[in-house]
Amino acid sequence: MRLELTPRSTKPTGDFDGRDKREGHKTILAMTLRILFGLLIILLLLGVGLYTAAIKAPRAPQGAVEQGDVIDYLDRLIVSKVATAVSVAVLRDGDMIWEHAAGQANPFEDRTATLDTIYHIWSVTKVATALAVLDLIEDGLLELDTPVTAVLPWFNVEAKEGRSMTVRDLLGHTSGLRDTVPAVFGWLRYDDALPNQTDYLKAKVPDYRSLLFKPGEDRRYSNLGYMVLGAIIEAVTGREYSDVIRERVLTPSGMTSTDFTFTSDLAPQEALGSHPIIHIFSPLLPFLIDMGDFTHAREGSLLWQNRIYVEATPPTGLIASARDAAKLAQAASVPGVVLQAETLGLMRPNMPDQTPLGWFERGGETRPWFQHLGGGPGYAATVRIYPDEGLAIAVLASGTAAPASTVVDLIARLEY
C-alpha cells in the first residue's frame, strides 16, 4: 500500500522573517532607550550630587542696603568659602570714602585679609594696558588707526577682505582675533622669571592665525588682542612692557602696591588663591597645568594654590591691592591722572553706539557705568566707574567663583 503524504504548505516565509526582524529592531531600540534613560537618571543624580556638594555663594541682600549689609554679605561669602579673602575700596572724586576687608589671606601663616592685601587682578590689567597705549598716542608715538602690521611687520594672521586691523580694533575688541581661553589658564609659572612679551606673542601667534571676522565687523573679547598691544608698546618704546606700565600708569596713578611680581615689599601682603574642586574650570586644569605645582593644600572641597604668575602679562598679569585697583579705575575715568579729557573720552564715550576702549562692559541708561571683570584660577576681580559721579569701585577676592561683580552691585547701591 502506497501512502502519499500531503506536503506542508510551501508559502514563502519572508513575512515571518521580516516580522522577526522588525520585532528584533524594536527590542534593540527599547533596550537602547532604557540604557539611555538609565544613563540620564545617573547623570541627573550625579549633577544633583555635585550641585549639592559645590561651594555656592549666598544670596545677596535685596532692596536698599547700608554698609552693614555689605559687610554682613562679605562675611557670609567667607563662611561659604566661595571667597576666602575679599577686599573692597571706593573712591569718590579722588578721595577714599570706604574700604573693608574680610577673610584670610593665608590661613597657613595665620594672616587675615587687610586693606593692603594683594590679589591677582587678571583681566583688569587690560585697563592699565589701554591707558598706556592711549598715553603713547597722546605723546605722538603711535596713532589710533595705525595698522598693526605697520608697527609689527612680523604679525602674520589670516587675511580677510576689508580694512587692516588697527590699534583701535585691539583696544575695543573688534580685531577679529580669537580668544586664548582656556589655553591661557595653562600659561602659568611659579617663579618670577616672566618672558619678554614680544617673544612670547611670536611663539603663540601661529596657533591663532585664523580670524573670527573682518576687523571692525563685530566685537568679541580677546586676550590675544591685548597681548598684541603689549608687543606694540614694546615696539614703539624700545622698552619692556612692564617697565612702560610702571612709568606711564602705576606711578602717576599713585599705585604703590601693584606690580607684575611679588617683590619683597608686596610678598608679605599676598593672598593665596583658592579654587573650588567642583567648578566648570576644574575638569580642564589637569590637562593645562601640573596640579602638583599648582596645589598648595586641599581643604575639604577647596584647593589652596601656590603662588602663580601669568606669562601673558599685558592682558592678565597685574597683582594689586583693592585700593590700587580703585586708583586704576579712577585713572581711567578722571582727566589729568594719566590721560587728557579728549583721549579719556575714548575709554568712556557718551554715545551708546561708540565702542569703549579699555573697558569691556558698560551699562546704566540713567546712571552710566563702565566695568572690567578679572577672573581665573584662584581669584576674581571687578572694577567699575560711574564717570558722572566721580565714583570708582574695586572688589578683589581670593576664590575662582567669588561673585565680585555682585559685591560691586551692592556697593553701588549705598548712599554716599
Q: What is the pLDDT along the chain (416 residues), one digit of tens a residue?
A: 444 444 444 555 555 566 666 666 667 776 777 777 666 655 454 444 444 456 889 999 999 999 999 999 999 999 999 999 999 999 999 999 999 999 999 999 999 999 999 999 999 999 999 999 999 999 999 999 999 999 999 999 987 777 899 999 999 999 999 999 999 989 999 999 999 999 999 999 999 999 999 999 999 999 999 999 999 999 999 999 999 999 999 999 999 999 999 999 999 999 999 999 988 878 888 898 899 999 999 999 999 999 999 999 999 999 999 999 999 999 999 999 999 999 999 999 999 889 999 999 999 889 999 999 999 999 999 999 999 999 999 999 999 999 999 999 999 999 88
**Neighbouring residues of 97: CB distance < 8 A, sequence distance ≥ 6:** 90, 91, 416
Q: Is residue 20 part of a domain?
A: no
Q: Is residue 84 part of a domain?
A: yes
Question: Which pLDDT value is given to residue 282?
Answer: 87
Question: Which pLDDT value is given to residue 128?
Answer: 98
Output the DSSP codes for 147-168: BHHHH-TT------SSSPPBHH
Q: Is residue 264 part of a domain?
A: yes
Query: Please, what's the b/e burial string for 8-40 (b: 16 or more CB within 10 A of its CB; e: otherwise)?
Result: eeeeeeeeeeeeeeeeeeeeeeeeeeeeeeeee
Q: Which pTM was predicted? A: 0.87
Q: Is residue 204 part of a domain?
A: yes
- Residue 365 CA to residue 85 CA, distance in Å, equals 33
Question: Which pLDDT value is given to residue 416?
Answer: 81
Closest CA to 92 of 299, 387, 303, 348: 387
- Residue 187 CA to residue 315 CA, distance in Å, equals 12
- Alpha helical stretches, state H, 264-303: 285-288, 291-294
Question: Which pLDDT value is given to residue 222?
Answer: 98
Q: Which long-range contacts (CB under 8 A, 24 or more apart) does 135-138 make?
A: 135/248, 135/249, 135/338, 135/339, 136/233, 136/236, 136/237, 136/248, 137/167, 137/343, 138/339, 138/340, 138/343
* Location of C-alpha cell 590637562: 287
Question: Which pLDDT value is given to residue 278?
Answer: 86
Question: Which pLDDT value is given to residue 40?
Answer: 63
Q: Is residue 73 part of a domain?
A: yes
Question: Which pLDDT value is given to residue 6?
Answer: 47
Q: Is residue 112 part of a domain?
A: yes
What domain range includes position 153?
67-412
Question: Which pLDDT value is given to residue 1?
Answer: 45
246-256 pLDDT tens trace: 999 999 999 99
Q: What is the CATH number of the domain that holds 265?
A: 3.40.710.10
Q: Is residue 8 part of a domain?
A: no
Q: Is residue 130 part of a domain?
A: yes
State the total domains in the chain: 1
Question: Which pLDDT value is given to residue 38?
Answer: 63
